Amino acid sequence: MARPKKADAVVAEAKTIEETTVVTPIVEAKEKLGGKTMAEKKYLVANLVNVKETFVGRGQSVEHTAEMPNGALVHLGELKAGETHIRKAVTTKVAGELPFIVAEPEINAAEYTRMDKQLGGFRLKANKPHVAWQLNLHDRIEYSSDFFQDTPAVGDIYEIAYAGAQFGAKKPSATGFVFKVVEVKPAVHPVAYSATYDLLPTAYNMIKVEVINKLA
């Protein structure tokens, strides 16, 4: 038996409300990510495990023209025009000088959509000042595995990469200020929550690196 017309109208109205309240925010969130879900973007997390400057140093204000993840490395450039303390980011190696690590509290505005699978999708906005701390020898930082092009293991050596770029392939022959991997561990123990075995939270490793001055 066909439904009365009035009942069909009620169902249609309910469907419209559901699409408006659930689907639309997700679509809008995806548009803000450049047409990609956060799962299609890199899952970037950085923890300042033991960075001396965060305890006894002076944070600096630095600004870059492109988006960066927390944990991005830069050098300090010239003061921004008209400013007395905001400096431009230099994203290339400066011989004999350790870089600054950009680190700020993570506030994830899109978390309600669950599009970004927790805070690995956090990014620092372009053309805005952010706090940076200069690294010292033996400082330690934890980076999620998406910061690396290959699969790190304890003892591996990596050259410093800038502005959130991935660390290139491990390079045992590198000298000067480099990162040495001292620990690799799972960040979380995720569970499968769907028929396609999607994982929640996102599964990834944390790689702890130490700043060393490698002479040979």
Q: pLDDT tens digits for 140-155?
A: 999 999 999 999 999 9
The bridge status of strand 205-214 relative to strand 140-144 is antiparallel
Beta-bridge mates of residue 157 = 180
Q: Are 149 and 167 in contact (CB under 8 A)?
A: yes
pLDDT given at position 93? 92
Phi, psi of 31 (to 5 degrees): -60, -35
State how far Cα 16 lies from the chain centre: 36
Q: pLDDT tens digits for 57-111?
A: 889 999 999 999 999 999 999 999 999 999 999 999 998 899 999 988 766 555 4
Name the nearest CA neighbour of 91 among 58, 59, 66, 127. Answer: 66
Task: Name the residue ranges covered by the structural domains of the chain.
Answer: 1-32, 33-214
72 Cβ neighbours under 8 A, 6+ residues apart: 64, 101, 102, 124, 162, 163, 164
Q: What is the mean pLDDT of residues 162-175?
A: 93
The pTM is what?
Answer: 0.73
Share of the chain above pLDDT 70, in %: 71
Q: Are 66 and 36 in contact (CB under 8 A)?
A: no
Phi, psi of 174 (to 5 degrees): -65, 145
Angstrom distance (rounded) from CA 214 to CA 158: 11
